């Protein structure tokens, strides 16, 4: 029996609830295919601060580094908003990405045929949408130095620096081209090269890296136009590559094409092969303990884990098909519920997907 060690970081709010459903489905996969997933739990975010007075304890980093993959729920709660910025739960996300060198964030935006009506856009616009956004995750304005708030001439000023080094751009470019090679061999690089020097360097390096992938069609688009085109004509895109802050915004925009944040997974990958997998939604503290939040994004994150960290393509596809089968059967959590469907809770949706995996 094959063994895989998974660090499970439930986090705050509804994070532990959705993670529980992802673990449930992984156990079903393990039972069906003879795989032993070892789950070891750690603290991150507000719950870690409550115990260790830091949102990212050394023990959590050690746990993650000694695992084959990291499974993350979400962090944050309004009650921690009074804390100093350096110890707020959200600080743990930047910290763990940096500590594990998770430089490439893959965020698919797939519109399920069964949920076309759930999208806020017209069916003819979103039907068939299947986009992969490749977001650079450890550079850009979130990490640029110097940064801070100072008083100059009696007035407060805040400043952050958008900085990218050549090697950072090259490695995310290779990741994006390699992703495109596995899909439709079509890559759109999104930047702001008409205004920003850093974007001009970004574009220059993407053009250079493209020489290694002659089969991939490379195009370029300014970020403001890309934001518009995602709504106007999303089917023109296959793989989108962009920087940290642009990717943060565009991937959240793309997440609404299927109609709910609760549907979309993500993978954050390092050069060593270690990956962290999480839903793109937040901790939703107002829904904590109500058994209402949609676990599909977390369950599909587990499928991405199988695919990208463990090279278990067949098993990953089993989870994806199980989700589709449950949706075809008319089961819906509250966020995607429409008249005539069968409403289920968080745990019930997890049960249904796990059962579909075992019975397929």
Helix (H) or strand (E) holding 193: none
Residues near 221 by beta carbon (within 8 Å), at least 6 away in sequence = 188, 189, 190, 229
What pLDDT is stored for residue 2 in this prediction? Answer: 80
Q: pLDDT by residue (tens digit) across 305-335?
A: 999 999 999 999 999 999 999 999 999 999 9
Q: pLDDT by residue (tens digit) across 126-165?
A: 999 999 999 999 999 998 999 999 999 999 999 999 999 9
Q: Which two tokens stand for residue 154?
A: 């009696």
Out of 224, 232, 286, 290, the active site residue is 224
351 is catalytic: no
Q: What is the mean pLDDT of the chain?
A: 95
Distances (CA, A) of 247 to 123, 172, 226, 227, 304: 25, 12, 11, 10, 19
> How far apart, in whole angstroms, are the C-alpha atoms of residue 113 and residue 320?
13
- pLDDT average, residue stretch 221-236: 97
What pLDDT is stored for residue 196 in this prediction? Answer: 97
307 is catalytic: no
Residue listed under structure tokens 């009074």: 82
Q: Which of 4, 7, 88, 11 is nearest to 283 (CA)?
A: 11
Q: Which of 34, 52, 36 is nearest to 44 (CA)?
A: 52
- pLDDT average, residue stretch 335-341: 88
68 is catalytic: no
pLDDT band for 338, please (50, 70, 90 cuts). confident
Out of 77, 140, 164, 192, the active site residue is 192
- pLDDT average, residue stretch 49-67: 97
Out of 12, 77, 140, 248, the active site residue is 248
142 is catalytic: yes
Record the pTM: 0.90
CA 240 to chain centre: 14
Out of 68, 130, 238, 252, the active site residue is 252
Out of 142, 213, 277, 308, the active site residue is 142
- pLDDT average, residue stretch 207-228: 98
Q: Which two tokens stand for residue 248?
A: 């943060």
Matching fold, domains 1-107+272-360 and 130-256:
yes
Helices 223-232, 244-255: axis angle to 10 degrees equals 10
> How far apart, in whole angstroms, are the C-alpha atoms of residue 187 and residue 220?
8
What pLDDT is stored for residue 211 in this prediction? Answer: 98
What pLDDT is stored for residue 209 in this prediction? Answer: 98
- pLDDT average, residue stretch 249-259: 90
Contact indicator for 190, 242 with CB cutoff of 8 Å:
yes
Q: pLDDT by residue (tens digit) across 72-107?
A: 999 999 999 999 988 999 999 989 999 999 999 999
The CATH fold assigned to 1-107+272-360 is: Isopropylmalate Dehydrogenase (3.40.718)
What pLDDT is stored for residue 1 in this prediction? Answer: 66
252 is catalytic: yes
- Would you call 3 exposed, middle or buried from its count of C-beta atoms within 10 A (0-12, 13-18, 19+)? exposed
For the domain 130-256, what is the CATH code? 3.40.718.10
Task: Output the furthest CA–CA distance in the chain (Å, rounded).
Answer: 70
Buried/exposed 17-38: b ≥16 CB within 10 Å, e otherwise? bbbbbbbbbbbbbbeeeebebe
- pLDDT average, residue stretch 58-62: 97
How is the chain split into domains, by residue range? 1-107+272-360, 130-256
> How far apart, in whole angstroms, are the C-alpha atoms of residue 132 and residue 223?
16
């Amino acid at each position: 029996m094959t063994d895989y060690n998974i660090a499970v970081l439930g986090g705050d709010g509804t994070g532990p609830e959705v993670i529980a459903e992802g673990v449930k489905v992984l156990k079903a996969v393990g039972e069906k295919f003879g795989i032993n997933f070892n789950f070891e739990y750690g603290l991150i975010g507000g719950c870690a601060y409550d115990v260790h007075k830091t949102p990212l304890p050394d023990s959590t980093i050690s746990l993650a580094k000694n695992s084959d993959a990291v499974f993350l729920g979400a962090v944050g709660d309004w009650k921690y908003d009074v804390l100093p910025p350096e110890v707020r739960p959200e600080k743990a996300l930047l910290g763990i990405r940096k500590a594990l060198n998770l430089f490439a964030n893959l965020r698919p935006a797939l519109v399920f045929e069964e949920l076309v009506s759930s999208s806020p856009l017209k069916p003819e616009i979103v039907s068939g949408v299947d986009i992969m956004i490749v977001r650079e995750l450890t550079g850009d304005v979130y990490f640029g130095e110097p940064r801070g708030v100072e008083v100059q001439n009696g007035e407060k000023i805040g400043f952050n620096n958008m900085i990218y080094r050549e090697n950072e751009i090259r490695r995310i470019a290779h990741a994006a081209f390699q992703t495109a090679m596995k899909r439709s061999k079509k890559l759109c690089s999104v930047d702001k090269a008409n205004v920003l020097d850093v974007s001009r360097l970004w574009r220059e390096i993407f053009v250079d890296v493209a020489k290694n992938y002659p089969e991939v069609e490379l195009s370029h688009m300014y970020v403001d136009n890309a934001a518009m085109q995602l709504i106007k004509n999303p089917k023109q895109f296959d793989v989108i590559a962009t920087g940290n802050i642009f990717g943060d915004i565009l991937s959240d925009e793309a997440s609404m094409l299927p109609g709910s944040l609760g549907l979309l997974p993500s993978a954050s990958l390092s050069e060593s092969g270690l990956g962290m997998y999480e839903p793109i939604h937040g901790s939703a503290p107002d829904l904590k303990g109500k058994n209402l939040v949609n676990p599909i994004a977390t369950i599909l994150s587990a499928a991405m884990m199988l695919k990208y960290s463990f090279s278990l393509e067949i098993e990953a596809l089993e989870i994806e098909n199980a989700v589709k089968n449950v949706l075809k059967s008319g089961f819906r959590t509250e966020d995607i519920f429409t008249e005539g469907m069968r409403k289920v809770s968080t745990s019930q949706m997890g049960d249904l997907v796990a059962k579909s995996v075992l019975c397929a």
